[in-house]
Amino acid sequence: MSMTEHQKKISSKSGLPPGIPVYIGDKKPITTHVTIIQYDEKGYSEELKWDPENLNQVQKKDEVTWIHVSGLEDIIQIENICHAFDIHPLVIEDILNTKSREKVEDFGTYLFTILSKIAIADKIIIEEQVTFILLNQILISFSESDTPFSLIIDHIHHQNGKIRQSGSDYLLYTLIDTIVDNYFIVLEQLEDTADELDIDVLTIMSSETIGHIQSFKRDLAWFRRHIWSLRNIVNHLERTDSHLVNKQTHLYMRDVYDHTLNLSEEAEALRDTAEGLMEIYLSNLSNNTNEIMKVLTQIAVIFIPLSFVTSFYGMNFEYMPELHHPHGYPIVIGAMVAVVVIMILFFKTKKWI
């Protein structure tokens, strides 16, 4: 039941003139590391330092260059990298503001996209902003944390597969595919929570259960908003007519798009479930109250008349002939039994027993 408090996305920059890069995030920014990976079908090289000198060299070669920046602490260096590729100041601002909206923008010479990567650790969801800048044969990526794509790097390094034979757009596709895959894991977590709640609503009648349902609904709403953005971005990438995205790659993007549609359908189904949970809880509660009322009424309806009778013959009038009649006592007992029988028959009629 423990999901992340979705970080409040309100910019704390209010008041500052626009266009000045400042790191905005609520986690402590992690030390910036730059990894420059260069590969083609034949070779693979990896460098761990950003050097503009190398860059010129890079652009001459016909291989794919992937510049990955992890950690957003070192604003100066990030600005340097961006300036080297002539990135617009507003884009730099978005990269550094980890509360930017997920989006994709086409600047002609480069495509810029912001995504939210989610991972799960100890039932806690960790949300992280990842930004990509796709240039011709170059991909620059920025992540808040350390190593979100180490598996992919490993894959490029050791396997001479399709990725080594394709351009930077296919690399982008692979990275986005990894991000989308992670959403499925979170979806599974949400489905488990839904299953747990499905049992809870029938057994635990307390405001705690309502709290859990509500928190589940909030998590789900948060998830659906992300899915929605993701879907729009991937859809845009699939349909883009940018020369940066190869025609072949469009097919792969369409595949990722299908996955986001799957995610979105599953999330809608979960939403229906969540609505149902509340309904079940409430109607079950009503059932319960109804049941309690029935028991109370049965007991009361049987014993109140009986008690009246006993109380009646407890009166202290001097002249109550029944009291002195030798059969008075057994007759009264008989009358009481009759009352009980009548009441039980009445309940049978009303189908309360």
Q: Which of residues 234-273 bind a second copy (CB under 8 A)?
A: 251-252, 254-255, 258-259, 261-262, 265-266, 269, 272-273
The single residue among 202, 335, 337, 342 that binds a second copy, judged by CB under 8 A, is 202
Closest CB to a second copy among 33 and 250?
250
Q: CA 301 to CA 303: how far, in whole Å? A: 6
Sites for a second copy among residues 268-297 (CB under 8 A): 269, 272-273, 276, 278-297
Closest CB to a second copy among 57 and 214?
214
**Phi, psi for 240 (deg, rounded to 5):** -60, 145
Distances (CA, A) of 131 to 92, 118, 134, 139: 10, 14, 10, 10
Sites for a second copy among residues 328-347 (CB under 8 A): 328-329, 332
Bridge partners of 133, per DSSP, are: 112, 140
Least distance to a second copy, CB of residue 286, Å: 5
> CB–CB of 19/89 below 8 Å?
yes
The single residue among 27, 83, 146, 161 that binds a second copy, judged by CB under 8 A, is 161
Sites for a second copy among residues 94-123 (CB under 8 A): 99-101, 103, 105
Strands 64-70 and 138-143, how do they pair? parallel
**CA Rg value for the chain:** 35
Q: CA 349 to CA 353: how far, in whole Å? A: 9
Q: Which stretch binds a second copy (CB under 8 A): 27-35, 58-66, 140-148, 306-314?
A: 306-314
- At 185, the amino acid letter reads I
Sites for a second copy among residues 14-33 (CB under 8 A): 14-15, 17-19
Task: Establish if 324 lies at the interface with a second copy (CB under 8 A).
Answer: yes
Least distance to a second copy, CB of residue 5, Å: 11
Closest CB to a second copy among 8 and 42?
8
Q: CA 153 to CA 161: how far, in whole Å? A: 13
Q: CA 203 to CA 212: how far, in whole Å? A: 14
